[in-house]
Amino acid sequence: MKHNESTIFIFIASVIVGILISSTFSFDRKTTRVFLNAKQYQDAYNQKNKLQSEVSDLNQKYAELYGKIIQYREAGESSTEATRQINEELVKNQILLGSTDVQGQGIEIELNDYGEGSNYINRSEDVGHDTTIHDFDMYNIINELKLAGAEAISVNDVRIIDKSEIYCASEYFLINRIKLYAPFRVVAIGNKEKLYSYMTRDRSYLNTLELRGRGIITVSMTQSDNVKISAFSGNLKYNYVKEAEKK
C-alpha cells in the first residue's frame, strides 16, 4: 500500500514539475520585447524566484520519495528472504522432532523370529531356547542404523524419535505405546549404500543375531531410492524442558 501511494505521489509531482518548468520557457521563436516598469519587473522577478523555489522543493521531495521506495523494496526482499529462512528452519525442526512425514533413499530390513506370536511359516520347535527378538536387540539395530548415518527410522510404520520407548512383552513390542508383532519391518532413511554396507558387514549386530543360533533371521534387506516414513503420532509436548538462561 505504501509503495502504491509513493508511486502515485511521484507521478503527480512529476506532472506538476513538468508544467511549472514548461511555463518558464517560451517555445515561440518570435522575439517580443516587453517593457516593464519597476513594479512589474519586481513582481516578475519575485514570481520567478517563487517558481524556482517550488521546483527545488519538488525535486527534493521526489528524491526523498524515491529513496523511500528503494527502502521499501529492499525491506520487502529482506522480509521475503527472512520468511524463506524461517520456513526452512521450521521444516528442519519438524523433521528432527519427527512431527512430519519424510521420504528419501534408504534401506528396508525385515526381521522375524520363532517366538510366540510370530507368523514365520518355517517355525520349528527344534531351534534354540531363546527364540524371541528382545528390546535390547531392537536397541542395537536402531543404534547401528544411527551410527551408519540414518536420519529417520521407523519400525512397522511407527516413527522412532528421542522420546520413543521400546518395551518387549514376550509376544509383542511396545513402541510409542503401540503394540507391534513380528515380523518387524525396520525402515531407515539415509545414504542407502552406506546403510546397507554397515548393516551387512561381518560383525554387524544382525549377523551376530544369526550366528547365535537363536532362530532370529533377517528375512530381507533391500536398498531403495525412495522410502517413506510417517510422522510421530503421539504427544510431543515437553512439560519441564525449557531454554537455559543465558549468562
pLDDT band at 147 (very low <50, low <70, confident <90, very high): very high
What confidence score (pLDDT) does residue 197 get? 96
- Domain coordinates of the chain in residue numbers? 2-96, 102-229
What confidence score (pLDDT) does residue 228 get? 96
| Residue 19, C-alpha cell as written in the block | 508544467
What confidence score (pLDDT) does residue 182 get? 87
- Render 93-141 in DSSP notation, one character per residue: HHHHHT-S-EEEEEEEEEEE-SSTT---TT--TTS-S--S--HHHHHHH
- CATH class of the domain comprising 102-229: alpha beta
Q: Average the pLDDT over each of 93-97, 133-137, 154-158 and give the range with the smallest value.
A: 93-97
What are the Cα distances from residue 26, in Å, to 22, 41, 162, 166? Answer: 8, 18, 83, 93
**Prediction pTM value:** 0.61
Per-residue pLDDT of 13-42, as tens digits, reads: 565 655 655 555 444 555 556 666 777 767
E strand map for the chain: 102-112, 152-155, 158-160, 166-168, 173-175, 178-180, 184-189, 217-229
Per-residue pLDDT of 161-186, as tens digits, reads: 988 999 888 788 899 989 999 899 99
pLDDT band at 4 (very low <50, low <70, confident <90, very high): low
Q: Average the pLDDT over each of 90-94, 186-190, 213-217, 231-235 and give the range with the smallest value.
A: 213-217
| Residue 208, C-alpha cell as written in the block | 551376530
- Count Cα atoms within 13 angstroms, Cβ side, for 218: 21
| Residue 230, C-alpha cell as written in the block | 510417517
Average pLDDT over every residue of 151-156: 96
What confidence score (pLDDT) does residue 63 get? 79
Residue 183 near residue 79, CB atoms below 8 Å: no
Tell which wins on pLDDT, 122 or 223.
Answer: 223
